[in-house]
Structure 1
């Protein structure tokens, strides 16, 4: 029997995860059955269960991948010297993650916003997923803090505001944009970038409050 290549195994795993992500984004975790995933991926039960023994394993794998994509994208931006401004970093990262788990299903709208809302909700009842989210958030905060500190050293951001405060707001901006996409319909990422650029250009003069 011919040996199956690693590339084939990786492609099959990708096929399963993309199919599951589309199902979860469309119908939610709990309304999606493994049979739904099999149909969406176009694979037999044996082919899927070779990689994932349960729906819970699929959920955790998709969440891990989504968080890892976000962490990696921000870490790459943080390594640039000097780092890009927030609108450029956030625009780049959002575009990368929207091209990730689930791809672009029917209708041309990215699956990621609806999928990530499902993940956030699931963390409230799934301890393992919650631990993954906590770890990812801590790593993301640490990365943004490094970026903000670079801005402060360059005189681009006020040094009297804790870097962690600014990092939390930047993360919240991305979270809010994702929630808008999922709940109210697609908005071009350029809208987010233009809004950030406008806020960054505000001149508050000597006002301190």
Structure 2
């Protein structure tokens, strides 16, 4: 039997992750059956579970990837940009980054699954640290308002993000949300001083 190269295995793993992301986004965790995962990835269950122990570890890897990418966006561009990306993704039906689908499932599982919550703490810490660091850098540059602690501003932005996710999950109109995100962004900025 011929050996499969590491590059080929890595490409198959990415194909599984990409297809699974679309499947979880469309059907949710419970609805993403093994048969649907096979269809979405174009791989057999044997191939899928060669790379991932089970459906839960597959989902957790997707959620970790998303959290790392979100933390990177937060560090580079801010939390409001993450919200703008989620909004844009929802507008395209989840055809680009699909953070909304995984984030909805993460939120549900954080609420209902203590084991998942314990596993997720490290990922949540990375995102929170990126947000605090970004706010501190922006404050030092004179961009972020100085009258509130960084921790309060971070919690405010996290609440706005979770509210956006909930709003989109309920299928409510996203029509005016860009303007709402403008308000959120403006509310954390330093107010202009009167000269």
TM-superposed CA distance for 1:46, in Å, is 2.0
What secondary structure sits across from 1:157 in the alignment?
Answer: coil
Which residue number corresponds to residue 19 of structure 1? 19
TM-superposed CA distance for 1:72, in Å, is 2.4
What secondary structure sits across from 2:182 in the alignment?
Answer: helix
Paired positions, count:
190
User: In the alignment, does 2:150 pair up with 1:163?
Assistant: yes
TM-superposed CA distance for 1:166, in Å, is 0.6
TM-superposed CA distance for 1:119, in Å, is 1.8
TM-superposed CA distance for 1:149, in Å, is 2.3
Paired with 1:141 and 1:71, the residues of 2 have a C-alpha distance of 8
Paired with 1:13 and 1:151, the residues of 2 have a C-alpha distance of 38
TM-superposed CA distance for 1:13, in Å, is 1.1
Paired with 2:93 and 2:156, the residues of 1 have a C-alpha distance of 26
User: In the alignment, does 2:163 pair up with 1:176?
Assistant: yes
Query: Is residue 142–residue 190 contact of structure 2 (8 Å, CA) maintained in 1?
Result: no
Query: Is residue 24–residue 32 contact of structure 1 (8 Å, CA) maintained in 2?
Result: yes
What secondary structure sits across from 2:170 in the alignment?
Answer: helix
Per-residue Cα deviation, 1:106-135 (whole angstroms, up to 9, x for no partner): x94114313311121122333442124322
Structure 2 segments unaligned to the other structure (5+ residues): none
Which residue number corresponds to residue 33 of structure 2? 33
Give the 5 Å matches for 1:38-187.
38-75=38-75, 77=76, 86=78, 90-91=80-81, 94-95=84-85, 108-110=92-94, 111-184=98-171, 187=174
Paired with 1:172 and 1:124, the residues of 2 have a C-alpha distance of 15
Paired with 1:67 and 1:98, the residues of 2 have a C-alpha distance of 17
TM normalised by structure 1 equals: 0.72
TM normalised by structure 2 equals: 0.76
User: In the alignment, does 2:183 pair up with 1:195?
Assistant: yes
Q: Give RMSD over aligned pairs.
A: 3.4
**Are the structure 2 counterparts of residues 186 and 3 from structure 1 closer, same or farther at C-alpha, using a change threshold of 3 Å?**
farther
Per-residue Cα deviation, 1:143-188 (whole angstroms, up to 9, x for no partner): 2222222333333334342111011112222222233233225747
